Amino acid sequence: MTSNWLRDKAGVLAEPNFRLFYIGYVTSLLGSSMASIALAWAVFDSHYGTSALGLVLFANVLPQVVLMAVAGAIADRFGRRRVMLSADVLRCGAQTLLAVLLVPEHLFALAPFGGQPPLWMFVLLVSLRGTGDAFFIPALQGLTVEMAPPDQLSNANTMYGLARSATTIAGPSLAGVLVAVTGPAAVIAVDAASYAASVLVLSLLRMPPGGRAVAGGRADEGRRRTLCGDIGDGWAEFRSRTWLCVVTGQWAFLNLITWAPFMLLGQAMARQYLGGPAVWGAIMGVEGAGAILAGLLLLGRKPGHPMLVATAATFCYALPDIPLALHASALWVGLAAFLLGLGSAPAGTYFSTAVQQQVPPDKLARVNSLITFPNYGIGVIGYAIDGPLASAFGAQLVFAVGAVYGLFSTAVVLALPSIRGVEWRTVGGHEPRSPS
């Protein structure tokens, strides 16, 4: 009965291309969610501290900052699937090499660094992985519009959210156990294999002829235009919507002030007093459980004002910083993470759907890159400075500032008329209004 209910609610799974892509997407997400835990402990096991981990995380995000805008234009011009295939090949190669370098010396006599690569090697390889992310992420929304019917976009985004949530539960939990038993190398190798699976699935997609012309825009015109002209068109589309600019700005600083401390210093707190990698994996798991519960409730729902719901749900992102600021136990951190999961599902689903409904399909990858660019460009600074800030002022103060900003900024954005002006677009209706 449960499977029938899910199939009825998520009719997008009836689409062969989406269903096939979704299998590869879930597999890749599982590997990535495991690798994020393994990477942190690989850095720690190589005798580096929190500041070094911040540098590694910074190196992962920096290519996305530098390349995101041009990556979106390239995806719109040359095809989303082709760009995503290339990105996954690059990410697979980077993770494979990192896994080899992390194999302990007693298991691999030829290990060049004895299973403990120098910091510069971590930085180089995660930069290559981040380069793949820079090209994959903007193309995803555009490819979704090519695969899913217009009336199933919300369900498609919900299914993505469910996949992220499920892998957030399974990945860190598995990784925490595997890191403790086998070490980080095996987990990184699993991530490399998951990218290989995604490459296979993307190569098997059978997109309809002319799909790029429909969803990717005017392909012939795109070839005559310059890449800079394509980027300029995306920028004009982005800045014409006040609600989109405001929310993008809010999220950029939310990543910097609220989210980065949780992801970076939270792992350091797990190492210091919460209980280690297995406990941190469990905290990430209960966050995913909250998001799964919310995601299942979202299937088939179409709120009249999607951005109003998405913005209200953003309050939950500030909650985990509160118990960490109070140096509370893992139980309280886990409860806050569960509430974060409950809010992350509607925040992500309805924001993505609003963008897909309001932005012309041929410009989606470019606009998505401009949404993502400041999120990474500003948010990445947190990974570079949170370690030194925690050393200078204490981690609890960094968490407290993050909680205050998350709650205050969301309240301000929620009060703006442009947020309430974004309305759900009905299938077969007129072109959506572009709220100013």
Task: Tell me, yes or no, whether 429 lies in a domain.
Answer: no
Domain assignment of residue 359, given as a range: 7-420
Note the pTM of the prediction, 2 decimals.
Answer: 0.73
- pLDDT of amino acid 401: 94
Which band of pLDDT confidence, cut at 50, 70 and 90, is reported for residue 107? low
Res. 45 pLDDT band, cuts 50 70 90: confident
Q: 409, 207, 218: which is closest to 314 by C-alpha? A: 409
Token pair for 392:
């200078």
Nearest to 368 by CA among 353, 381, 346, 383: 353
Q: Is residue 425 part of a domain?
A: no
Q: What digits encode the pLDDT tens for the residues 155-192?
A: 888 888 888 878 877 887 788 788 878 888 889 999 99
Encoded tokens for 353: 């759907």
Look up residue 82 and give its two tokens.
């082709």
Residue the block writes with tokens 């297995």: 278
- Tell me the pLDDT tens digit for each residue of 331-360: 999 999 999 999 998 998 899 889 888 888
DSSP result, 195-211 = HHHHHHHHHH--PPTTH
Confirm whether 96 is domain-assigned. yes
For residue 10, what pLDDT is reported?
A: 57
Tokens 């405001």, residue? 246
CATH of the domain at 345: 1.20.1250.20
Q: In angstroms, rounded to a whole number, what is the distance separating the alpha carbons of residues 291 and 251?
A: 19
61-106 pLDDT tens trace = 888 878 887 888 888 888 889 999 999 999 999 999 999 888 875 5
pLDDT over 90 for what percent of the chain?
A: 29
pLDDT of residue 94: 94
Q: What single DSSP character describes residue 103?
A: S
Kindly state the helix (H) or strand (E) to which residue 328 belongs, with its residue range.
Answer: none
Q: What is the dihedral of CA 229, 230, 233, 235, to 10 degrees?
A: -100
- Judge whether 232 lies within some domain: yes
The 3-state DSSP class for residue 142 equals: helix
For the chain, how many helices (H) and strands (E)? 19, 0
Is residue 433 included in any domain, yes or no?
Answer: no
Q: Is 239 inside a domain boundary?
A: yes
Confidence of residue 429 (pLDDT cuts 50, 70, 90): very low
Whether the CB-CB separation of 292 and 159 falls below 8 Å is answered with: no
Q: What is the pLDDT of residue 51?
A: 77
Mean pLDDT of the chain: 82
Segment 224-272, tens digit of pLDDT: 567 778 888 888 888 889 999 999 999 999 988 998 888 888 878 888 8
**Both tokens assigned to 344:** 């992350």
Q: Report how many domains make up the chain.
A: 1
